[in-house]
Structure 1
Amino acid sequence: MKPNFALLSKLLILQYLSALCLSQDFDFFYFVQQWPGAYCDTKQSCCYPKTGKPVADFGIHGLWPNYNDGSWPSNCDPDSVFDKSQISELISSMNEKWPSLSCPSSNGFRFWSHEWEKHGTCAESELDQREYFETALKLKEQINLLQILKDAGIEPDDEFYTLDNISNAIKKGTGFTPGIDCNKDSAHNTQLYQVYFCVDTSGSNLIECPILPRSKCGSNIQFPKF
């Protein structure tokens, strides 16, 4: 019997579309904030955005779909490119709360485009492009991380604080256990770099993390000035 190439082609297309749909399902978001002092205090250094030096506050790194087993989808829809016209009313807030510190200095669009195309396209079943960025901004408003730490006596003053104290302060302030990521400066000090929160698939509610990212932190962490 001759193979039915038309039927085989249809089956392959259906298989591809099925895999694509599966790749766009996810279990929760990581909402990630980063401390600019730690980002800049490394060998790679940083470049301030064209709008000037950001305020000394945690900035948004991203809103990332994840699976409960610790893996994650990425670049789910190559046809869904970043369109700055869809976020025109959000740009002022994004410059303030989601600044790019990468070099060369930029206006943020390269950073936001990367975040949408790598991560945001995997959340399109829940959030369109505007909603994706708007959701992250609302989460930033909801979680005033710097104030939570200051209320616990933890300041960005180049001093060292215990990982437990930082984690406990954030849990007390938000009701949920954070993931904490560190980097090392040129003097090899371990610094507070990023804080991860878990959010349900609607992007509306903080949840207890099904899995936390592996921490590179020691027991004592420097909170660098910015």
Structure 2
Amino acid sequence: MAPPVAEGALPAWVAVLGCGLTLCCLGGAGPLWSSSHEWRKLILTQHWPPTVCKEVDSCRDTLDYWTIHGLWKHEWEKHGTCAAQVDALNSEKKYFGKSLDLYKQLDLNSVLLKFGIKPSINYYQLADFKDALTRIYGVVPKIQCLLPEQGEDVQTIGQIELCFTKEGFHLRNCTEPGEQLPYKQEAWLAEGASTEGLMVCEDGPLFYPPPTKTQR
């Protein structure tokens, strides 16, 4: 479980790098509740900090649990426009509060540990993650990886997306068979699509890197 949040304070675990998005609309900028921003599902993206830090090469220490990547005013102003169509998300407080509620509800860290999936120098199979998440949540997630760098031979898991219905916030498959949602019909509960270097994982082995700690 994530660390408790002190009343009136932003928890440290929501800001791995001090950037990123929480509940952003893929429809672009525009006035709140604009009818031009139609969307059908919410996407909660959780990042694995060691991989994100590897991607941007700017971290010395990394967290050891999956986290929402960023909860700041910028995210609401730039990306909360579509979400504001829903009464439960029509204010900055509701917008971020619902992101935190769903994060805690999913409890991704505990789910993976329940199936013995924990950071390791050994490789897992992508199917290990898919099977565990599908068995617990009953829906198909989207799992994205950092492609191998020169001299490497395996992809590195970076983020996991779980999707919710627009009404009622019920879990749903991120992509239904044969479904290709237009760009403007998704709303995000954390950054995913714009994260450079991350792509949908290929079937096969993947690396789930342990957190790094600076020697003191």
User: 1:37 and 2:22 equivalent?
Assistant: no
Of 74, 83, 96, 1:123 maps to: 83
Aligned to 1:162: 125
1:7-156 alignment runs, 5 A limit: 21-42=34-55, 44-47=56-59, 55-61=63-69, 98=70, 112-126=72-86, 127=89, 128-156=91-119
CA displacement 1:58-87 (0-9 Å, x = unmatched): 0113xxxxxxxxxxxxxxxxxxxxxxxxxx
Amino acid at match of 1:31: L
Aligned to 2:141: 178
Unaligned runs of 5+ in 1: 1-16, 62-97, 99-110
Q: 1:161 to 1:138 in 2, by over 3 A?
A: same
Cα RMSD over matched residues? Answer: 2.7
The structure number with the bigger radius of gyration is 1
Deviation (angstroms), 1:147: 1.5
Bigger Cα displacement from structure 2, 113-122 vs 23-32: 113-122
Aligned to 1:194: 159
Q: Does the aligned pair in 1 maintain the 2:145–2:155 contact within 8 Å?
A: yes
Q: Which one has more relative contact order, counting CA pairs under 8 Å at least 6 apart?
A: 2
Aligned to 1:205: 170
- Partner of 1:221, secondary structure, is strand
Deviation (angstroms), 1:148: 1.1
TM-score by length of 1: 0.60
Deviation (angstroms), 1:54: 6.1
Deviation (angstroms), 1:203: 6.3
Counterparts of 2:126 and 2:116, CA distance in 1: 14
Counterparts of 1:181 and 1:151, CA distance in 2: 21
Quick check: which one's helix share is greater?
1
Q: 1:203 to 1:219 in 2, by over 3 A?
A: farther
- Equivalenced residue count is 156
- Partner of 2:36, secondary structure, is helix
Deviation (angstroms), 1:129: 1.2
Q: 1:131 to 1:156 in 2, by over 3 A?
A: same
